[in-house]
Amino acid sequence: MMKRLVIIDGKSVFYRGYYAMPNLSTADGTPTGGVYGFAALSLELIKRLQPDYVCVAWDKPKTNIRRRLAIYDQYKAGRKPAPPDFYAQIPLLHELLQAFGWPLYEFDDYEADDIMATLDAQAEQEGDIETYLITSDLDALQILDQNTYLYALKKGLTNIDKFDVPAFEQRYGIRIGQFLDFKSLKGDASDNIPGVPGVGEKTAVKLLQQFDTLDNLYDNLWQVKDTLRRKLEQGKDSAYMSRELARLYTDAPVTLDRAAMAMDNCDPAAVRAMLQRLEFRSLLHHVPPQMQAAESTQPSDAPVVQHAAELPAHQAKALFLMAKELLVWPVEGGVWVSHERGKAARLSWRDAIDVIPHVPIVGHRTKELLRRLLARGVRQLPVVKHDTAQGSFLLNPLRTSRALADLAGLELLDDPRLAISALWAVYDEQTQALDALPELARVARTMDFPLIPVLARMEWRGIRLDSRTLAAMQRTLSSEIAELQQQIYGMVGYELNIGSPAQLAEALFVKLQLPTAGIKKGKTGYSTSQKELDKLRPHHPIIGLVERYRELTKLQNTYVEALPQLTDDAGYIHTTFNQDVVATGRLSSTDPNLQNIPIRSELGRHVRDAFVPAPGNVFVNADYSQFELRLAAVLSGEEAMIRDFNTDIDIHANTAAQVYGVPLDVVTKEQRRRAKVVNFGVLYGMSQHGLAAAAQMSYA
């Protein structure tokens, strides 16, 4: 039987954790976001993969890239140093790894992916080991084979792609053996590997599909069209240099030591003590079983689940009405209900409507059931005593999947009786975990769970849309867009698709000869993103027209035309409110996103005007007055802020007055808006670049 080795690209995962949880700290102010992110993701994957061996590859500071710098002195040039509290957390992570029993490997002249490649090559020679690589560095794709898999972090900690050989070939359209030549042609901006200028991913794939290898391509350049051939001729040295930069070394001074990497090296007591010291209380209940003490009573994520026995429906209905709680699992045509472990019954919707509203319920994504009840005429909704999806979110907001089968450690829930048993198991586990965390339990039981019926009613009722308002906007927008198009065509000298970045770049940088110094260049040419247009605004009036065109077409396509298509027969839009998406606990809205209706521009506010109350009703707007800033003022003891709040001075306007050096009574709406961005951006840890972009200010 094959053994499993997990190799974690330590700094890569730590980096993702740091930026996913930027403001997390202990009660004494010690920053811990990067450590938490690393721990949450790695423990989740360990539970999923159940490896025999684990180790961590690490980039040794400053000296790890000397070998590649000797090839190209601009390798990884331009990377900005991480903030100080990023580096301050690394010793804490190393302590946690010691408790986990996971050896860490770092060497001069070798990057983490070189260490991973070396260990993978040794595992391949052993012959009985499957290797799983955890990283955000796609250079590691060149290591893939029939016994090597890659879990690639795409964004944050929850968006992960799993690659094996077939998945790679389907994604890229080339073989694993061609990946290095692929990188040689297209380059890699993140590592400042140049590749062949002007050759992007699609072109690189087509060339390798036709010529198979980089060497064969250059042996047969005469078969390539003139424009592309010239690029390849001019970029030949760069291509071969890029191939050496991207090639992973397999000679790192590391040995695959099974004993050192064995999972049973974990010290459960040290793990528990370290997680408590870091105040990662929710993770205490997500430690994999193989990392727990044998006598531990902590529940695992794979509770023993058996089929529930089915009760006759006529007996069940009376029993259910007397129960203190009901576990519910909706199916086609009715609901499976259980009042005690090991017993369940299927109720028709008619019987379910007689029972469920009168007894507190426990379920998984119970809001969906509540909406189905509302659609069937039920107006008295039951109390939601516990929701296992929301419970999972509260206990571990970084968990990648909250499907009931995954929470119960099952492959499939194809039988409702099995689903009921899984619900009982996960409910018991989460109840025990919450009971051990009183503050989190209070949030769950007095806020999050009671909110579910409220959200269900909001979704079911919807919000009324006045389509006539949007129809009038559509006529106005279409007229102005057509006028802008003609003005832009006149300046360029020909008609073009203004919405095409490539055609717009051609018009701006080739036809109009706008300066390209400092303009970001991507795979297909110079960028026309808003950030780059900001740099070009002083050089030509066409930039203002393009920005206005983009604003109007986005309003037209995203809102004015799309929203009326989403209403029901009565003219109402029904969104979905998500409690378990945003790690900070804020609600999000999808299908459609009603929290993203524009407000900053005059036209954007007209879109909001199309949302109207039902006849005889009014909208009531209630909001905390700078609630977070008031807390910050009290917690920091900042006298100026406290004085402003106590005297009812507009805190954002006052900030604007100080920043712009103007009297408070002449601060403009735009100045106040930018000051608000500064106030909240600083509070929530926004980076310098992010703050400059959001406030539309110079980074300098």
Q: What is the pLDDT of residues 418-477, one digit of tens each?
A: 899 999 999 998 998 898 888 899 999 999 999 999 999 999 999 999 999 999 999 999
Residue 632 resides in a domain: yes
Averaged pLDDT of the chain:
87
Write out the residue range of the structural domain in which residue 92 sits: 3-173
Q: Are 448 and 543 contained in the same domain?
A: no
Question: Does residue 199 contact residue 235 with C-beta atoms inside 8 Å?
Answer: yes
- Residue 561 shares a structural domain with residue 654: no
Question: What's the rounded Cα separation, in Å, for the pair 700 and 692?
Answer: 9
Which of 403, 427, 461 represents a domain boundary (last residue)?
461
User: Does residue 293 lie in a domain region?
Assistant: no
Residue 690 binned pLDDT confidence (cut-offs 50, 70, 90): low
* Concatenated DSSP letters of 116-158: HHHHHHHHHHHSSEEEEEEES-GGGGGG-BTTEEEEEEEETTT
Query: What mean pLDDT is predicted for residues 357-380?
Result: 95
Q: How many CB atoms lie within 10 A of CB 475?
A: 10
What pLDDT was estimated at residue 300? 39
Q: Does the pTM exceed 0.75?
A: no
Q: Confidence band (pLDDT; 50, 70, 90) for 294?
A: low
Cα gap 242→234, rounded to integer Å:
14
Do the domain assignments include residue 20?
yes
Instruction: Say if residue 549 is in the same domain as residue 420.
Output: no
Number of structural domains, the chain?
Answer: 4
The one-letter amino acid code at 386 reads H
pLDDT confidence band for 299 (50 / 70 / 90): very low
Whether 370 is in a domain gets the answer yes
Chain centre distance of CA 603: 30
- Asked if residue 369 and residue 339 are part of one domain, the reply reads yes
Q: What is the predicted pLDDT for the residue at 295?
A: 45
Task: Work out the pLDDT band at 97, boundaries 50, 70, 90.
Answer: very high
Q: Is 11 a domain residue?
A: yes
User: How far apart are the C-alpha atoms of 488 and 550, rounded to whole Å?
Assistant: 12
From residue 155, how far is each of 137, 148, 160 by CA, in Å? 12, 22, 8
pLDDT in tens, 173-210: 999 999 999 999 999 988 889 999 989 889 999 999 99
Residues 542 and 656 in one domain: no
* In a shared domain, residues 596 and 672: no
Q: Which tens digit of pLDDT belongs to each residue from 390-412?
A: 999 998 887 778 899 888 877 77
3-state secondary structure 620-650: CCCCCCCHHHHHHHHHHCCHHHHHHHHCCCC
Could you tell me which residues are beta bridge partners of residue 104? 56
Q: Tell me the three state secondary structure of residue 526.
A: strand
Q: Indicate the pLDDT class of residue 677, thresholds 50, 70 and 90.
A: confident
Confidence of residue 19 (pLDDT cuts 50, 70, 90): confident
CATH code of the domain containing 33: 3.40.50.1010
Q: How confident is the model at residue 7 (pLDDT cuts 50, 70, 90)?
A: very high
Structural domain includes residue 414:
yes
Distance in Å from the first CA to the final CA of the chain: 59
Domain end residue (candidates: 125, 158, 173): 173
Phi/psi of residue 162, each to 5°? -100, 125
* Cα torsion 576, 581, 586, 588: sign: negative
Burial class (CB in 10 A: 0-12, 13-18, 19+), 225: exposed
Tell me whether residue 442 is in a domain.
yes
pLDDT digits (tens, 9 = 90+) for 220-274: 999 988 889 999 999 999 999 999 999 999 999 999 999 999 998 888 889 988 9
Residue 161 has pLDDT above 90, yes or no: no
- Given 612, 638, 669, the domain boundary residue is 612
Does residue 456 share a domain with residue 347?
yes
Pair (42, 103) in one structural domain: yes
Angle, helices 226-234/236-246, rounded to nearest 10 degrees = 60
Q: Which helix (H) or strand (E) holds 573?
A: strand 572-573
Give me the CATH number covering residue 361.
Answer: 3.30.420.10
pLDDT of residue 452: 97
Does a structural domain hold residue 187?
Answer: no
Is there a cis peptide before residue 564, judged by omega within 30 degrees of 0?
A: no
Q: What is the CATH number of the domain that holds 498?
A: 1.20.1060.10
Return the higher-pLDDT residue of 148 and 408.
Answer: 148
Domain co-membership, 37 together with 153:
yes
Q: Does residue 249 or residue 344 have the better pLDDT? A: 249
Query: Are residue 493 and residue 405 in the same domain, yes or no?
Result: no
Summarize pLDDT for 470-524 with one digit per residue, the tens.
999 999 999 999 999 999 999 999 999 999 988 999 999 999 999 888 888 776 7
Domain match, 349 and 442 both = yes
User: 390 and 528 share a domain?
Assistant: no
